[in-house]
Amino acid sequence: MSRREAPLNRVVMALSLVATATWLALPLASVAPNRIVPGTAHTATDLLGWPLALLACLPLVALMALSRRLDRVRCHLALALVLLLLMALPGWLAIASQWLVDPELPQARLGIGAAWWLSLFWLSLMLIELRSRLALVGWRAALLPVVVATAWWLQGAWLGSLALGQELDGRRGDFLEAVVDHLLLVGGAVGASLVLGALIALAMRQSPRVERLGFAVLNFLQTIPSLALFGLLLAPLAWLAARFDWLSAIGVSGIGWAPAFLALLGYSLLPMVRNTHVALSEVDPGVLEAARGMGMGRGQVFRQVRLPLALPVVIEGVRITTVQAIGLTAVAALIGAGGLGSFIFQGLGQAAMDLVLLGALPILAMALVADALLGALARRLDHRRLASPGGAP
């Protein structure tokens, strides 16, 4: 084993310094007597008092010390510290709600302050950095966010006066319905675009003219602002629904899910077709030649060679499309398609920022989770391909 000194890790050092400064200087939480009035902000130091606030900084100081010579053991230690800090984050809000919120005022609510959000952000960056230093992949890497999420969920009971929770309490049923609507729209659009996209990509391989025309149309669709595409579908669909009874019978109308679904499908097609097309056309000709040389027929080559080689790139297309669709579905709330976007726009309309958060945070979480899961799937398939070259029998 080499006795080389492990170098200073500037990233962890810088992030711990910034996190400490954020924690001490910015407001941790705010208290408002009711929903509309802006709250009064409290920093960690005037909430906990200087001794306790400084004590809470100790793990960050320990991280700075560890980062001075970050070898493998210290890296594990640092990871454990960051995990603990992340898991404890809701605890500070629970303490704040114990000390700040007057139990006599049922309307009083606790807002989450900038120091809390930024601490979450810096700690997440540290987690990412340490994870890649330790080269954690697969289930080990996936375990980290799951552990944090579980810890947060367990602390949920003490966060009753959190404004976010109060907004949720009033509309638990609506919230679940919105989540389901959102996921259904995204799933439907991505699923339909996967099938349609594969068909279009296959048709493009047959003729260069179809290829040029197809990409021209899809590129054009992508340049229309999402807001406008939703809007432009209102009138034609309303006209069609008025014209054909069976269309309105299955729920098609100018507003609602139908224009949202069509617009999402239109946007999803370009990344899907592009990736499927690239995936199918960029298979090494040598590999195909070898497969044919082994006596495989056309269909066999497609199923056993082309498809497995193309799959990671296609999944990458699904990832891009899904993340994009999750965001676009939020905009679709403007044309009455439901989903989590409706909370955002309702909240904006009522200037109730906690309601906005109730819509925006799950959308953000969904996008990150979808990105992580599909990214992991693509890497896994790719890995398998590399592990067994020419794995077809």
Q: Are 204 and 269 in contact (CB under 8 A)?
A: no
Please give the Cα distance from 71 to 84 (Å, whole number): 20
Nearer to other proteins, 19 or 48 (CB): 19
Binding to other proteins by residue 162, rule CB under 8 A? no
Interaction of residue 122 with other proteins, rule CB under 8 A: no
Q: Is 345 in the site for other proteins (CB under 8 A)?
A: yes
Per-residue contact flags (x/-) with other proteins for residues 297 to 326, judged by CB under 8 A? --------------------------x--x
Measured from the CB atom, the residue of 301 and 370 that comes closer to other proteins is 370
- 208 in contact with other proteins (CB under 8 A): no
- For residue 231, state whether it binds other proteins (rule: CB under 8 A): yes
Q: Which of the stretches 48-56, 92-100, 122-130, 288-296 binds other proteins when contact is defined by CB under 8 A?
A: 122-130
Q: How far is the CB of 279 from other proteins (least distance, A)?
A: 20
Cβ-based nearer residue to other proteins, 311 or 369: 369
Q: Smallest gap, in angstroms, from Cβ of residue 135 to other proteins?
A: 11
Considering the rule CB under 8 A, would residue 188 count as an interface residue with other proteins? no
CB distance 115 to 19 below 8 Å? no
Is 226 one of the binding residues for other proteins (CB under 8 A)?
yes
Quick note: the x/- pattern for other proteins over 129-148, rule CB under 8 A, is x--x----------------
Residue 123 CA to residue 80 CA, distance in Å, equals: 12
CB of 216 to other proteins, least distance (A): 13
CB of 36 to other proteins, least distance (A): 13
Using CB under 8 A as the binding rule, whether residue 79 contacts other proteins is answered as no
**The one among 346, 371, 385, 392 contacting other proteins by CB under 8 A:** 371
**Binding segment (CB under 8 A) for other proteins, from list 42-50, 52-60, 142-150, 346-354:** 346-354
Min. distance of Cβ 323 from other proteins in angstroms?
A: 6
| Per CB under 8 A, 344 contacts other proteins | yes
- Dihedral (CA of 223, 228, 230, 233) sign: negative
- Give the one residue of 364, 376, 377, 392 binding other proteins; rule: CB under 8 A: 364
- What is the 3 state secondary structure string of the chain? CCCCCCCCCHHHHHHHHHHHHHHHHCEEEEEECCCCCCCEEEEHHHHHCHHHHHHHHHHHHHHHHHHHCCCHHHHHHHHHHHHHHHHHHHHHHHHHHHHHCCCCCCCCEEEECHHHHHHHHHHHHHHHHHHHHCCCCCHHHHHHHHHHHHHHHHHHHHHCCEHHHHHHHHCHHHHHHHHHHHHHHHHHHHHHHHHHHHHHHHHHHHCHHHHHHHHHHHHHHHHCCHHHHHHHHHHHHHHHHHHCHHHHHCCCCCCCHHHHHHHHHHHHHHHHHHHHHHHHHCCCHHHHHHHHHCCCCHHHHHHHHHHHHHHHHHHHHHHHHHHHHHHHHHHHHHHCCCCCHHHHHHHHHHCCHHHHHHHHHHHHHHHHHHHHHHHHHHHHHHHHHHHCCCCCC
Q: Which stretch binds other proteins (CB under 8 A): 55-63, 84-92, 245-253, 353-361?
A: 353-361
Q: Which of 88, 334, 376, 377 binds other proteins (CB under 8 A)?
A: 334
Examine residue 168 and tell whether it contacts other proteins (CB under 8 A).
no
Amino acid identity for residue 126 in this structure: M
Which parts of this chain interact with other proteins (CB under 8 A)?
A: 9-11, 114, 125, 128-129, 132, 223-232, 234-235, 323, 326-328, 330-331, 334-335, 341, 344-345, 347-348, 353, 356-357, 359-361, 363-364, 367-368, 371
